[in-house]
Structure 1
Amino acid sequence: MKDRFIVSGGAQLVGSVKVNGAKNSVLKLMAAALLAEGTTILRNCPEILDVPLMQKVLEGLGCEVTVAGSVVTITTPPELSPDADFDAVRQFRASVCVLGPLTARCGRAVVALPGGDAIGSRPLDMHQSGLEKLGATTRISHGAVVAEAASLRGAHISLDFPSVGATENILTAAVLASGQTVLNNAAREPEIVDLCNMLNEMGAQISGAGTSVITIDGVAALHPTEHEVIGDRIVAGTWAYAAAMTCGDVTVGGIAPRNLHLPLEKLRVAGASVETYDNGFRVRMDHRPQAVDYQTLPFPGFPTDLQPMAIGIAAVSEGTSVITENIFESRFRFVDEMLRLGADANVDGHHVVLRGMPRLSSTDVWASDIRAGAGLVLAALCADGETTVHDVHHIDRGYPKFVEILQNLGADIRRVTS
C-alpha cells in the first residue's frame, strides 16, 4: 500500500500548534538507555515511524520496549546482544547511534551500515576514529561496522567536522571509559545538549554541552532515569515557514525559540512579524515575502534540515535568492521536484539561485526524504491548483499527525491510500 497527499493551493494557514519531542533527539536517547541496566522512561516522544523502528532495534539487542503514545519505556537487561546486524538497522540512519553504547557495555558492537534519507554521503570514519582513540579497534566487514575493546580509556579527540552522529557515539562510549575524555570541535546542536542532560541524569559526568569542547569524566556504571525529550526545532521551523509562505498567522508552542534563532531571524528579514515567548513563537506574514539568501551550517547556523523550506519560501518570494548547501551534497535533489512545480531555479554546484514568482503551478511530485517531502507540501500550498505528493512515507518518519495539523491550520490536504 502506498499513500500520497492531495494538496490544493491557496489557503492561508492560521491557528496554533504544539510540537512534540524531537526526532533527532528521541532516537539517540532510546539508544542511550542501553548504557544502564533497568527501566528508562522517555516522555514527550513524537509519534513517528522511526520510533517503532528503533524499538525493533533495541528489542533485537535484548531490551523490552513499550511505546504508549508519547511515552517510551525501555527495560535494559544485565546482558545485551552486541549484534545489531539486522534489517531494522538498515532502514534508517539513526540506528548507528547504538554503536557507542554497545561498545561501552559489551566490549563489542556489530552494527549494520544504516540506510535512511537519500541526501548524500554520510560516512562513519569519524565515528570509528573516535572509538579507536578511546581504545577500540574498528573495521567494516560484510556490510557492518565492527568495534571491539577489552576496555575503553579517556582520550583527547578532535573532530575534523562537528558531526552530530560522531559526537553522540563518542559521548555514549566515553561515559563508561576510564579517565577523562576531551572532545574538541564537538557538535553544538540542542539535541546534543538533550543527550548530555539525560546522560548526566543517569550518573554521567559531562560538562561543556552546547559548546565546541565537551569534557567527559568516565564513571563505572550508569543508572536508568526518566527524561522529557526537547521540542522538535525542525518541525517547529517547518510550521514557521509554512505560515510565512502562505501569508498566514501561526503560533507554535513546545519549543525554545533560542533553538531556532537564525531561521526565525531570516523570516523577519523576509518581512514576517515574529514574536517569541518562553516556550514558543508566533509568525505572521501579511504580504509576499522578500528574497533572502541562506547557507546551511552546523548549529547555531541555518539547519540543513530546513533547507527545503528555505528553497520553498525563496521560490515564492519577491526578488532573487541564493541558497548554499554546505552539509549534504545530494540535498538539491529536492530542486528537481520544485522545477516540476514551476519554480525558477538553477543549481550551480552547492548553490541554487531562485527567482521568486507569485504562484507555483500544481503537478505530481515525489518526496525523496523527510524534509524534502514536507517542503514539497509547503510549496504545493502555494500552487495554483491540486498537487499530488507521492512517497509520503518519508514525511511520516519525521512529522507526527502531519496532515491533521495542516488541516487544523486551514490547509486543503488529504491522505489517499492506494
Structure 2
Amino acid sequence: MSEFHIQGAAKLSGTFSITGAKNATTPILCAAMLVPGTVVLQNVPDILDVARLSTMLRSMGASVTRHGHSLTIKAWDIDPRTLDVKAVKRMRSSSLLISPLLARFGQLEIPEPGGCNLGKRPFEAHLYALQAFGVESTILEEGYRFHAANLSPAELTMSELSPTATENAIVMAALLPGTPTRIHNAASEPHVQDLCHFLETAGVNIEGIGTHELVIHGVKQLRRDVEYTIIPDPIETGSMICLAAASHAEITLEHAAPLSLMRMEMQKFHELGVRWEEVPDMDHGWYTSQHLRILPSKLTAVYKVHSMPHPGFPSDLLPPFATLATQAEGKTLIHEWMYEDRQKYLGELSRMGAQIEILDPHRAIITGPTLLTGQSITSFDIRAGATLVIAALIAKGESRIANIELLDRGYEAFDQRLRALGAQITRKS
C-alpha cells in the first residue's frame, strides 16, 4: 500500500495539461472489439483503469499497445472464454465488455463487475436493456450468464439514467442493421456522447447525440480501421478548477474539457465567485476545447449543489467541490442523492478541521471558510482521493493520504503533475 505525504500551503502556479477522459476511454476501448481491423485511440490517459481493461482484452487474445497517449487495438481475433475474470471483479466498467462480446459471440459468462465502493449499484438497468434486444440472462451465484441467439433492433426506455447501461445499449445496437434502435431516457453524459461519436467515426449513424432520445442506425459491419481522439476529461478539469480556486492560485489548464459539456459545473463555479479566462484551443468537430486560466478569487458559498444526471452537476465532481466549499464564506448544502456511501470523505475533511454537519447519508452542510490542518487520512474511492489531495495541498502542515492506488485508477501521475505546479507531494510505499 502506498500513500502520499503532502506538505500543505505551498504556493502553486503554472500550467497543468488535462488528460483524456477516463469515463470515455473505457467504453470506447470495449467498443473497439467491434472493429474488424485496427483502432488507434489518441489522448488516452495513462491510468490504472485503462491498463486493467487493456489487460482484460489481452487475456482474450487482443493486441493492445501504448505509445505515449496513443493506444493501438487489434481485437477481432479474440476468445472470450479466456477472459481474466479476476480482473473483471476489480472494475465496474468491465460491465462494458458485455455488449460487444455478445454482439460478436452470442454468449458470455461473466462475474459481477467490481469498482469503487459507493454503496448499492444495482445491475438491473443493464439486464433490462439487454433483454430488449433479445438477450437471455441467468443470474448465477457470483455473476451472470448471457445468451444472445436472436438479437434484433429494439425500442426501449432505459429504466434509469445510467451511463454504463446506456453505453451497453448503444454498443449492442451498433451491429444490428435494419429497423433503427430507439433508446428513450438515455443518459447523455459527455462520455456517452464521445462513445456515440466514436461509433459514428466507425460507420454507425446516431441521431440525438447529447439528448435523452437516441436513434441508432446499426450496420452489418463497422469500418475496418478507425482512428479517434478521446475528449479531455471534464472531471479532471473540474477537479483542477477546485484546487486552483481553493488555493487562490493562478493556474492555466491546457486542453481543458469543452465548457459546452460543463455548463452546470461552470455555473456553480461562477456562483461561488471563481474567476477564469478562456483561450480557444482546437476545433474537434463536435466540440471545441480551450485553455482555462483560473484566477485568484474571493469565494462566497452557494446555497446548494446537488448531483444530477447530465446536464446536471456530476456526482464525480461533488467531492472536490465540497473541499472548495470549505474555503467559501457562508454555508453550502451538499446533496449526493445518487450514492449513499460516497460521503465518507466528509469525515476525513472534518478531521482536518472542516465545519461539516452531516444531515443524513446523502446531505451535509459545509460552513466556511475554515483553516484546514494536516492529518493522516484515507482515500475511499477515486474522487475522494483527489478531494483529499486538494484539501491537503491547502492545509497547514503535513498530511498523509493512504490508499492512493484508488486515485491512480482515474488521475494520471497526479503527484508528478502537481509537483510541476509547486506542490510538495511525495509518494511513499
Same fold by TM (over 0.5)? yes
1:260 alignment partner AA: M
Report the equivalent of 1:314: 325
Shift of 1:83: 6.1
Report the equivalent of 2:262: 260
2:187 alignment partner AA: A
8 Å contact from structure 1 (residues 84, 112) kept in 2: no
Sort the Cα spacing of 1:143 and 1:83 in 2 relative to 1 into closer, same or farther, 3 A.
Answer: farther
1:333 alignment partner AA: K
Answer yes or no: is 1:172 the counterpart of 2:184.
no
Report the equivalent of 2:301: 291
Report the equivalent of 2:287: none
Q: Secondary structure at the match of 2:171?
A: helix
2:207 alignment partner AA: S
Report the equivalent of 2:420: 408
Report the equivalent of 2:279: 277
Q: Secondary structure at the match of 2:38?
A: strand
Shift of 1:151: 2.6
Q: Secondary structure at the match of 1:280?
A: strand
Could you tell me how far apart the structure 1 residues matched to 2:397 and 2:221 are? 59
Could you tell me how far apart the structure 1 residues matched to 2:68 and 2:48 are? 12
Answer yes or no: is 1:305 the counterpart of 2:316.
yes
Could you tell me how far apart the structure 2 residues matched to 1:36 and 1:408 are? 39
Q: Secondary structure at the match of 2:262?
A: helix
Answer yes or no: is 1:355 the counterpart of 2:357.
no
Q: Secondary structure at the match of 1:381?
A: helix
Q: Secondary structure at the match of 1:65?
A: strand
Shift of 1:268: 1.9
Could you tell me how far apart the structure 1 residues matched to 2:70 and 2:240 are? 24
8 Å contact from structure 2 (residues 34, 76) kept in 1: no
Shift of 1:82: 5.3
Could you tell me how far apart the structure 2 residues matched to 1:53 and 1:237 are? 25
Alignment of 1:144-223 (within 5 A): 144-178=143-177, 179-223=179-223
Sort the Cα spacing of 1:277 and 1:161 in 2 relative to 1 into closer, same or farther, 3 A.
Answer: farther
More off after superposition, 358-367 vs 265-274: 265-274
2:204 alignment partner AA: A
1:230 alignment partner AA: I
Could you tell me how far apart the structure 2 residues matched to 1:384 and 1:43 are? 39
Could you tell me how far apart the structure 2 residues matched to 1:123 and 1:189 are? 19
Shift of 1:388: 0.6
Sort the Cα spacing of 1:153 and 1:364 in 2 relative to 1 into closer, same or farther, 3 A.
Answer: same
8 Å contact from structure 1 (residues 247, 286) kept in 2: yes
Shift of 1:192: 1.0
Report the equivalent of 1:94: 93
Could you tell me how far apart the structure 2 residues matched to 1:71 and 1:25 are? 14
Answer yes or no: is 1:244 the counterpart of 2:230.
no
Shift of 1:258: 1.8
8 Å contact from structure 2 (residues 62, 77) kept in 1: no
Report the equivalent of 2:57: 58
Structure 2 unaligned segments of length 5 or more: list them. Answer: 281-289
Q: How large is the Cα RMSD of the aligned pairs?
A: 1.5
Shift of 1:382: 2.1
1:256 alignment partner AA: P
Answer yes or no: is 1:229 the counterpart of 2:230.
yes
* Structure 1 length-normalised TM: 0.96
Q: Secondary structure at the match of 1:38?
A: coil
Paired residues, number: 415
More off after superposition, 22-31 vs 270-279: 270-279
1:216 alignment partner AA: I
Q: Secondary structure at the match of 1:377?
A: helix
Could you tell me how far apart the structure 1 residues matched to 2:239 and 2:250 are? 14
Report the equivalent of 1:384: 396
Q: Secondary structure at the match of 2:120?
A: coil
Q: Percent of counterpart pairs with the same letter? A: 33
8 Å contact from structure 2 (residues 354, 370) kept in 1: no
Could you tell me how far apart the structure 1 residues matched to 2:12 and 2:150 are? 55
Could you tell me how far apart the structure 2 residues matched to 1:205 and 1:79 are? 26
Q: Secondary structure at the match of 1:220?
A: coil
8 Å contact from structure 1 (residues 84, 109) kept in 2: no
Shift of 1:376: 0.3
